[in-house]
Structure formats: structure tokens, C-alpha cells
Structure 1
Amino acid sequence: MPELRRDLISHRWIITGTQSEEEFFSSLNPKPKEAGVECFFCEGNETKTLPEIYSIRKFDTRPNTPGWQVRVVPSKSAAFKIEGDVGKVGRGIYDMMNNIGAHELIIESPKHIKNICELPPEQILLVLKVYQTRLRDLNNDERLKYALIFKNQRPQSPFRYGHTHSQLAAIPLTPKAIKDELISAKNYFSYKERCLFCDIIRQEQKDGKRIVEENTDYISFVPFAAKFPFELLIMPKIHNADFKQESETSMKNLAQILKISLSKIARTLNDPPLTYILHTIPYLRPKQDYWKTIYNDFHWHIEIYPKTVENATGFELGSGCHIEPLLPETCAKLLSEK
């Protein structure tokens, strides 16, 4: 029986359980065959990207040469430019500003590996450390207010899109989706004096039906009101608002649970395209007191969205209510078995 479930974070209503397992899996599209195309991200092709911004590499190697483990380069199709001023202006009732910001590609392996879950945990840990390094460095740019790390993984694609990499976009504003999440967490804390995300973790541990993986420091689970089939959330079990503050010791466990969670998705859904997003706190400027309880009320997390359904329907676009064909408990059970 389909259900309506309310997402405590976004306050959206989700319609879930509209298909059986058989109906859902029969609707998945087969993967197209890959064409043989040169990859600019592979080791040895360093001169075919823009000059690197940062890298983890052997100490006796020079930038933009082989010998790296993780490499960060500017995006050639960047939507933002790093040079210039924000230049906020008004045009009648409309607000405008310059497209100032950073758009970086984080190449996660020198080898042509398509899925980050195929990397060893030690390599994934290096990727996570690069995330922290770039977030810290961009925090020094007073023009920027938020940095979003995300991955659009398309294992079936040729060329660079088939080489595992993440992206970082740092911009001079806090995006509405992030701000809505921050406000939701702030309001919950104001009312209950507890972190919303910590309460969700406790409830998931109590229910136990949607947990996919758990270790000493992190938990991976299908949200109670998941918007999409096999959607996952990964959260630190010890409260922390700022991903930049995670210790290297705990991030070893983050690398493990990220690898396991993505491997379960790959095995269950035949290595589908997916997106994952890292939500952490904004750069707290210029109004330091605007989010004065943020270190108490927010909780950084990773959202994972496998691409298993077509684009949103007219109903979803018009109402803002997502239709999730499988129950979250069904998705969690299938992932846990892999």
C-alpha cells in the first residue's frame, strides 16, 4: 500500500511504495556500450587539462606531471570565474551579481577507474582529505559564502566522465536548498534544543529497518521519507556540523562506509549512474551571528542519489511531492543483502 511520508529536514511530503520490486527492476534501462575515447584525466595526460590547483603526489615530482595520487584542476566548462568582484546590483525589483566563484574537478585516481567504490579505502581517504583541503583553502576567499562538493558518476560514459572524479563549486551565496536545510535544523533546535540529525540517527538505530551499514563513527541508511529509490544518507554518529573538522582517524571509517555503501548500490542496481552531495556548514561571513547556533543544530552529511528513474513527472514538478516507487525499507533490505 503506497504511503505519504513527511521528510523532517525538507518538510516535503513523499509518496512512496507505488511499485513492487519486480515492476521497479523491470523498468531499469540497460547500459549502453562504451566507445573507445582518450581520457584527459588519466596519468600521463596532465597537459590536456588546465594547470592543477592542488595535488597529492610523490615528493620528487613536479606539478602537471605524472606521479600524483589525487589531482585538482579548474573545470574547462566552469560556470564561475575566480577573478573579479561580487558586484551586487539591483535592476528594479531584480537582484544581480557577478558570477564569481570557483569550479574545480577533483580527479580521484591516476588510473582509469570508473567508480569510486572500486578504489581501495586508502585512496578514498586521500580523496576525502583533498575535499577538506580545498574547503579550507577556499574559506580564505572572503567573497565566497558556500562550497558544495558533489559527484555525478556515469560509469557507462566514455572519455573523462567515465573516470572517477568529484566537483567543487564555491559561490558568493548560500543556495536556497542549503539554506532551507539550515533553517529547518535551526528551527528544530530552537524548539527541542536537540540536533535534528542526531535525533534522526537515534530513531533509525531504534527502528533498525532502514540501516544499510554502520561502523564506530558513521551510519548509512535509507531515509524514512526517501525521495528516490535507493537514496542513502551517510552521517557521523558523533555530532559535528563542519566536515572540515573531521579527524583523519575517523575519516578512515568514512572511507570504509562510503566504499561499502556505493558498492552495495553498484551490485544491487548494476552499477547505475548516481549523484552524491556533501552538505556542510557555509562559510560564516559576513554576519557571524546569523547562524549563531549552527555548530549545535547542523550536522554535516553525504546524500547519495542513484539514477534509477526518469526525470520528475508533471505532478512532482507542480506539487513538489516526490513519488518514490519502492518503500525505503525494501531498498534498505535489498542493499543490506549485497
Structure 2
Amino acid sequence: MAELRYNPLLKDWTMVASSRQNRPHMPKDYCPFCPGSGKVPDHYDVHVYHNDFPVLSPEPPTPDAVGGGIYETREAYGACEVILYSPGHHDTIPDLSRNHMNKLVDLWSQTYESLLQDAKHEYVMIFENRGEEVGVTMPHPHGQIYAYPFIPLKVKTELASCKEHYERHHRNLFDDIIQEEKRFGERIVAETAHFLAFIPFFTDYPFGVYVVSKAKKTSLTQFTEQEKYELGYLLQDVVGGMDLLYDRVFPYMMTMHGKPNNEEESYDDFYRFHVEFYPPLRAPDKIKYNASSETGGWAAANPTAVEENARVLRQCIERYRNERGEEK
């Protein structure tokens, strides 16, 4: 079974793919993403791998005849690509050389742009799940890119809020967020000429970093080579700093938010490309679980002090940079 089911209460779609229940936990002595497995090239730096268990596909099956009335179904049309970061089985983002990270950002951008060519792909999202704590079954470092036949509700809500702010104040909401974070200063964890990394005033995750473009850019494909380079090494610095928080590979969910695939509307005035991190750890051995209020009511709660978290992460990022030393 693979289909989309409409939720009339939220005006949103649920992706149903029962085949994903069969995703295996890989044996410790075999990895399909490592060279020599027969599943990937014997030699590669970064690589696109077509998901073996896609929730969305270019040739989706006909939905089961289970809907009716207000219960609408649609074909689960779209794409699910896996982005392999490195042939090294343990080489996560902070371990890559700066040059290798450039190749990864280029592959993100190329795959993203390719998926935008299909008008049925209403939204394309680059993301990464890292660590068993967020359900990762394949430990070889990788991310994913989904092309949805709808705009996900969280993104749709962001877009509506940003557009409303622009119409009311004639200013980009992300410019105002950046301005306030820079005025206060204590939540900023890193900065480059073109990007600002900070733990937002409003985050519900202890180390929920945002990386926001300072320029009026709404898509990864709009960035110059210098901007892409900066984005890559800033992501390395942020994740490298996270790994030093508790001296372990830090689990997280990471998503890149850009404009929808809609040429009829310009989003540049009121929206902005940004990266959002959702790390579940609130202590070395404690996970921030979403309880009933958070899950059932979307009433976000943060059990930690944002400003103190930002101070600690900022110090860890500086330590990562110092330990990394010269370009690898």
C-alpha cells in the first residue's frame, strides 16, 4: 500500500506506505552504501541512490478503495532520493574535508534543481535524520531529498505567517528575526558573511539551531558558489560543535526550507531559505520526548534555557574549529 490520505481537520495529506515496515536493520558486517557492496559504484565521493522503500514514487500504485465521502485519497506521486555523503562508513558531515563538503552541497543543489523540473512536484525538501534516537536504520552517513505533490503543512504555515507579516509591516519576517537575534546576540552560535546560525528565541528543542540566509534568497539554487561554500562549512561547524556537546555523535533531524515549486508567485520579498535542526537530546542520557500536550495540541515546550544552550554550543563550535585546524 502506498497512497496519500487527506486529513480534513488539518487540510493536510498523510503519506501511507506500509511497505516501509519491512525496512531492514543492516547486519554489522554488510552495508549497501559502502563501495564493493554491488549496490553503489566502487568509487564515488558523493552519490544519489534511489530509495529502496520510497513513500513517494514517479509511478505510484492506484490507491486502495478505502476512501469515500470526506475521506479523499490520491496517488503517492513524487520522488525519494538518498544522498550518500561519502564512501566512508563513519564519515559524517563534520568529518568531510571542506572540498568534499562542497561536492555534497553541489549534489544537493543539482538533485534539488532536477526534481523541480517536474511541475507535479509542488515542494522539494532536503533533509537528514542522524542517529538511532530519531529512527535511523542505516548508519552509513546519508541524507534524503523528497519531492512532494503538496506543500507540507509546516512549510505552508511558515509561508502564510511570512506573507501576513510582509503585508502588514512591509518587511521580511526573517530580516526582523535576524535583526533581533543580532541585537540581543546571546543566541547566535556562528556567523559568516552570508548566513547566521542561532538557536531561536522561540525554539522548542534545546539545541534547535536555525541557519538563515542574510540575502534575499529563497532557494538553494539561487546561491552563488561562495554562498554555497559558506553554507557547507557553516553546517560542518554547527554539527561539529553539536558532537562536542556530549562527546558523541549528536542525533538530530535537519531540514532545508525553501520556496515551493510555483513560478506563478514570487516568494523572495517575504520568505527566506533557511535550515532547521531538531536534536532530541536534552542531556547526555536524556531525550526530549513530545508528550500529549505537544503532540496532541502542538503546544510546544522547551525544558531548557535557550540562551545557556547557545552559549555552550557556541563554545563547542569554537573548539571544533580549533581542533579541526587547517583545511583537510
Confirm or deny a common fold (TM above 0.5). yes
Q: Counterpart of 2:300?
A: 322
Does the aligned pair in 2 maintain the 1:155–1:272 contact within 8 Å? no
Q: CA deviation at 1:267?
A: 0.4
Q: Counterpart of 2:45?
A: 69
Does the aligned pair in 2 maintain the 1:265–1:306 contact within 8 Å? no
Q: CA deviation at 1:193?
A: 1.0
Q: Counterpart of 2:174?
A: 197
Q: Counterpart of 1:302?
A: 275
What is the CA–CA distance in structure 1 between the aligned matches of 2:92 and 2:266, rounded to whole Å?
Answer: 37
Question: Which secondary structure state, in structure 1, belongs to the residue aligned with residue 230 of structure 2?
Answer: helix
Q: CA deviation at 1:96?
A: 2.0
What is the CA–CA distance in structure 2 between the aligned matches of 1:329 and 1:165, rounded to whole Å?
Answer: 31
Matching residue's letter, 1:301: H
Matching residue's letter, 2:173: L
What is the CA–CA distance in structure 1 between the aligned matches of 2:167 and 2:60, rounded to whole Å?
Answer: 39
The partner residue of 1:268 within 245, 253, 269 is: 245
TM-score by length of 2: 0.80
Question: Which secondary structure state, in structure 2, belongs to the residue aligned with residue 169 of structure 1?
Answer: strand
Q: Is 1:145 aligned to 2:118, yes or no?
A: no
Does the aligned pair in 2 maintain the 1:114–1:155 contact within 8 Å? no
Q: Is 1:163 aligned to 2:107, yes or no?
A: no
Q: CA deviation at 1:35?
A: 7.7
Closer/same/farther in 2, CA of residues 72 and 39 from structure 1, 3 Å limit: same
Does the aligned pair in 2 maintain the 1:277–1:303 contact within 8 Å? yes
What is the CA–CA distance in structure 2 between the aligned matches of 1:92 and 1:172, rounded to whole Å?
Answer: 22
Question: Which secondary structure state, in structure 2, belongs to the residue aligned with residue 295 of structure 1?
Answer: coil
Matching residue's letter, 2:279: P
What is the CA–CA distance in structure 1 between the aligned matches of 2:86 and 2:92, rounded to whole Å?
Answer: 10
Matching residue's letter, 1:327: A
Deviations 1:67-98 (A, max 9, x none): 221100111111112126999x9832232210
Does the aligned pair in 2 maintain the 1:153–1:161 contact within 8 Å? no
Closer/same/farther in 2, CA of residues 92 and 162 from structure 1, 3 Å limit: same
Does the aligned pair in 2 maintain the 1:213–1:336 contact within 8 Å? yes
Q: How does 1:1-338 map to 2 (within 5 A)?
A: 36-45=28-37, 47-48=38-39, 64-83=40-59, 91-154=68-131, 161-269=138-246, 270-284=248-262, 288=264, 292-308=265-281, 309-338=287-316
Q: Counterpart of 1:5?
A: none
Q: Alignment length, in residue pairs?
A: 283
Q: CA deviation at 1:44?
A: 2.2
Deviations 1:128-163 (A, max 9, x none): 111111111111112211111110011799x97221
Q: Which runs of 5+ in 2 are unaligned?
A: 1-25, 282-286, 317-328
Deviations 1:215-265 (A, max 9, x none): 111111001011111110001121211221111121111111111111111
Does the aligned pair in 2 maintain the 1:186–1:293 contact within 8 Å? no
Q: Which runs of 5+ in 1 are unaligned?
A: 1-33, 49-63
Closer/same/farther in 2, CA of residues 140 and 282 from structure 1, 3 Å limit: same
Higher relative contact order (Cα pairs below 8 Å, separated by 6+ residues): 1
What is the CA–CA distance in structure 2 between the aligned matches of 1:230 and 1:211, rounded to whole Å?
Answer: 12
Does the aligned pair in 2 maintain the 1:229–1:306 contact within 8 Å? yes
Give the aligned CA root-mean-square deviation in angstroms.
2.5
Q: CA deviation at 1:311?
A: 2.5
Does the aligned pair in 1 maintain the 2:78–2:146 contact within 8 Å? yes
What is the CA–CA distance in structure 1 between the aligned matches of 2:290 and 2:45, rounded to whole Å?
Answer: 38
